[in-house]
C-alpha cells in the first residue's frame, strides 16, 4: 500500500499570513496513464470533508484561488496564500493512483495562533 505522510501535523497560523502543508508518498504517484492522482481535502470542524484540489493542482469549483496545489512524483504541497478564519480545520492529502486501497495522509490541523 502507498503510505502518505503529511507535515506538519499541527499548523498554527496568523490570519492573513501564508500557510503550507507537505505531503509525501512512499512511491511515485504517476499513474500508468500519465496522470498523478493526488488530491487535497478540507474538513472544517463538525463538517464532512470537501475536496479542494484534484490531480495535484486543479482547484474544484467554488474553491478560492488562495488555495493552490503543486508537486510531482512523491512530493506535494498545498499552499494557502493568505489564511482566513474560514480555513480553520483539518487538511488531508489522498492518493488515487495506486488502488486498492486509496490512502490518506494523517491530516494537518490548521489553527489560529
Question: Among residues 13, 80, 94, 110, which is the contact residue for another protein, using CB under 8 A?
Answer: 94
Q: Are 18 and 87 in contact (CB under 8 A)?
A: no
Instruction: Calculate the dihedral angle through the C-alpha atoms of 96, 99, 105, 107, rounding to the nearest 10 degrees.
Output: 70
Of residues 36-55, those binding another protein (CB under 8 A): 37-39, 41, 43, 48-51, 54-55
Give residues with Cβ within 8 angstroms of 46, minimum separation 6.
Answer: none
Q: Which is nearer to another protein, 17 or 58 (CB)?
A: 58
| Nearest distance from C-beta of residue 19 to another protein, angstroms | 19
Smallest gap, in angstroms, from Cβ of residue 34 to another protein?
13
- Report if residue 103 touches another protein, rule: CB under 8 A: yes
Residue 6 to residue 96: CA distance in whole angstroms: 16
Amino acid at each position: 500500500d502507498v503510505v502518505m505522510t503529511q507535515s506538519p501535523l499541527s499548523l498554527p497560523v496568523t490570519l492573513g499570513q501564508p500557510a503550507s502543508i507537505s505531503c509525501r508518498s512512499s512511491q511515485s504517484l504517476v499513474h500508468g496513464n500519465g496522470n498523478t492522482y493526488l488530491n487535497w481535502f478540507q474538513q472544517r470542524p463538525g463538517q464532512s470533508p470537501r475536496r479542494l484540489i484534484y490531480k495535484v493542482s486543479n482547484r474544484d469549483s467554488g474553491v478560492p484561488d488562495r488555495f493552490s496545489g503543486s508537486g510531482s512524483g512523491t512530493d506535494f504541497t498545498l499552499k494557502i496564500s493568505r489564511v482566513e478564519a474560514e480555513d480553520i480545520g483539518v487538511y488531508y492529502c489522498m492518493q488515487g493512483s495506486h488502488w486498492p486501497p486509496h490512502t490518506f495522509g494523517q491530516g494537518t490541523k490548521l489553527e489560529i495562533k
